[in-house]
């Protein structure tokens, strides 16, 4: 298995206060304390054509090989870095791994340039990060239908991006987006984890190319998946099943180049479509790439997304 470490393409980020009207997740099982270092990209090992369908060797292997030496154009591990708005020394991490900053030190500096402060014994307890702190948000938003305050900042907590639907909510499809994802030809990698949800709850990654064209990859907790593509309705579709272990995140890699699309699940080739879209170029909306949680309103649901990395394939010179 090939592993490489990569830094964020930019230190620019938005420091925001969580919106009170944002949807709150149900009680989640405690996550493992997040690391305070960037998570390296872990790509599938290159495979031979005789082991998998020919599209692996002809389409995805060259892309994966090229990405091994490239930094992502966007990266977000949702690290628990905070800036205290009261200009007092505060802690924003687990008791075992603490980072201290002071607000006046942040002025004009990037997060990576802030100096560490000395830990003080009076701050041994983990603070409530939803009260009195500003979380680091690299441009994740959601939209509330008919709200005049759109967009809202998406909820980031426990070292991950959280998508949730409370019980009884009429909206059965909650989605988030990042306006930086304006690449037509791209590779995107992330970890998905279902929490205390029902078997029919579905995660969806959807890409709207414009001119009515789109493709979407659905992953259901009941261990089924689908890949749909085309313009208008009905769309063409591939379906299948997969293995899922509830305690482990599911690594997902999606490749889109030209007219071809491919999906890897758990670092294994899963789906490929030669004509998932046309190769025409159109202006992309800020909502081009969206992450969805689809559920029934009779119960609550929540998923987390972590370790997001995205590459603009049009800027990878080593691609054929």
Total length of the chain: 320
Residues 50, 123, single domain; the answer is no
- Is the CB of residue 83 less than 8 Å from the CB of residue 59? no
Give me the residue label for tokens 């980020």. 13
Do residue 179 and residue 66 come from a single domain?
yes
Distance CA 286, CA 108 (A): 27
Residue 107 and residue 239 in one domain: no
**Tokens 């709200």, located at residue:** 147
φ/ψ of residue 257, rounded to 5: -145, 125
Q: What pLDDT is attached to residue 214?
A: 94
**Is residue 310 included in any domain, yes or no?**
yes
**224 has a pLDDT exceeding 80:** yes
Structure tokens that stand for 116 in this block: 């560490």
Lowest mean pLDDT segment, chosen from 10-24, 99-113, 157-171, 188-202 = 10-24
Q: Say if residue 54 is in the same domain as residue 124.
A: no
pLDDT at 18 over 70: no
* Longest CA span, the chain: 62
For residue 99, what pLDDT is reported?
44
113 plus 176 within the same structural domain: no
Stretch 118-133: mean pLDDT: 39
Q: Which of 40-54, 206-220, 269-283 has the lowest average pLDDT?
A: 40-54
Is residue 229, in this structure, part of any structural domain at all?
yes
CA dihedral 97, 101, 107, 110 (to 10 degrees): -20
Q: Can you give the pLDDT at residue 228?
A: 96
* pLDDT computed for residue 130 by the predictor: 43
**Same domain flag for 301 and 224:** yes
Residue 190 lies in a domain: yes
Same domain? For 42 and 183 the reply is yes
pLDDT at residue 34 is higher than 50: no
Based on the fold, state whether residues 59 and 187 are members of the same structural domain: yes
Flag whether 298 is in a domain.
yes
- Asked whether the beta carbons of 263 and 253 are under 8 A apart, the reply is yes
Most confident of 30-39, 104-113, 265-274: 265-274
pLDDT tens per residue across span 175-187: 999 999 999 999 9
Lowest mean pLDDT among 28-42, 61-75, 115-129, 286-300: 115-129
Q: Are 288 and 209 in contact (CB under 8 A)?
A: yes
Q: Specify the pTM.
A: 0.74
- Provide the pLDDT confidence category of residue 6 given band limits of 50, 70 and 90: very low
Interatomic CA distance for residues 165 and 294, integer angstroms: 8
Q: Specify the pLDDT at position 155.
A: 87
pLDDT tens for residues 96-122? 444 444 444 444 544 444 444 333 333
Q: Residue by residue, what is the 3-state secondary structure of 146-183?
A: CCCCCCEECCEECCEEEEEECCCCCCCEEEEECCCCCC
**Encoding tokens for residue 66?**
């090229």
For residue 52, the domain's CATH number is: 2.60.120.560
Query: Which two three-digit tokens encode residue 78?
Result: 């949702």
pLDDT for 137: 79
**Both 230 and 304 in a single domain?**
yes
Query: Are 104 and 224 members of one domain?
Result: no
Higher pLDDT, residue 20 or 127:
127
**Mean pLDDT rounded to a whole number for the chain:** 74
Q: Which of 173, 158, 151 is nearest to 295 (CA)?
A: 173
Other residues' Cβ atoms within 10 Å of the Cβ of residue 248: 10
- The residue from 89, 116, 135 where one domain ends is 135
Q: Which is higher by pLDDT, 257 or 210? A: 257
Which of 100, 120, 135 is the C-terminal boundary of a domain? 135
Strand partners, 236: 229
Check whether residue 254 and residue 125 sit in a common domain: no
Query: Three-class SS of residue 53?
Result: coil
Could you tell me if residue 171 is inside a domain? yes
Place of tokens 């005049």: 148
Point out which residues pair with 82 in neighbouring strands.
Answer: 135
Model pLDDT, residue 45? 56
Owning domain of residue 206: 35-79+137-315
Residue 15 lies inside a defined structural domain of this protein = no
Q: How many domains does the chain have?
A: 2
Structure-model confidence comparison of residues 85 and 75, the more confident one: 75
245 and 190 together in one domain: yes
Of 238, 247, 154, nearest to 195 (Cα)? 247
In a domain, 114, yes or no: yes
pLDDT at site 80: 59
Final residue before a domain boundary, out of 102, 135, 168 = 135
* Residue 320 CB-density burial (10 A; 0-12 exposed, 13-18 middle, 19+ buried): exposed
Whether 59 is covered by a domain: the verdict is yes
- Answer with the residue of higher pLDDT: 233 or 5: 233
Element holding 294 (H helix, E strand): strand 289-294
Token couple for 230: 């085309």
């Amino acid at each position: 298995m090939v592993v490489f470490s990569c830094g964020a393409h930019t230190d620019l980020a938005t420091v925001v206060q969580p919106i009170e009207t944002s949807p709150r997740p149900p009680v989640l099982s405690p996550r493992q304390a997040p690391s305070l270092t960037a998570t390296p990209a872990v790509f599938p090992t290159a495979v031979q054509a005789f082991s998998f369908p020919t599209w692996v060797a002809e389409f995805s292997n060259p892309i994966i090989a090229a990405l091994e030496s490239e930094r992502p154009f966007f990266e977000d591990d949702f690290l628990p870095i905070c800036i205290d708005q009261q200009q007092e020394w505060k802690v924003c991490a687990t008791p075992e791994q603490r980072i201290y900053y002071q607000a006046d030190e942040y002025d004009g500096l990037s997060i990576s340039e802030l100096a560490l402060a000395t830990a003080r014994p009076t701050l041994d307890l983990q603070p409530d990060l939803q009260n009195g702190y500003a979380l680091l948000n690299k441009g994740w938003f959601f939209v509330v239908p008919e709200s005049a305050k759109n967009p809202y900042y998406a909820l980031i907590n426990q070292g991950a991006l959280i998508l949730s639907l409370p019980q009884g909510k009429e909206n059965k499809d909650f989605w988030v987006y990042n306006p930086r994802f304006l690449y037509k030809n791209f590779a995107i990698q992330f970890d998905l984890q279902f929490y205390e949800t029902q078997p029919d709850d579905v995660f969806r990654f959807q890409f709207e190319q414009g001119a009515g064209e789109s493709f979407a990859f659905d992953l259901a907790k009941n261990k089924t998946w689908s890949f749909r593509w085309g313009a208008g309705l009905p769309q063409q579709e591939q379906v299948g099943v997969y293995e899922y272990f509830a305690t482990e995140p599911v690594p997902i890699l999606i490749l889109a180049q030209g007219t071809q699309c491919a999906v890897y699940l758990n670092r294994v080739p899963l789906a490929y479509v030669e004509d998932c879209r046309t190769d025409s170029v159109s202006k992309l909306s800020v909502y081009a790439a969206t992450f969805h949680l689809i559920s029934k309103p009779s119960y609550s649901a929540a998923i987390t997304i972590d370790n997001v990395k995205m590459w603009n394939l049009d800027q990878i010179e080593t691609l054929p």
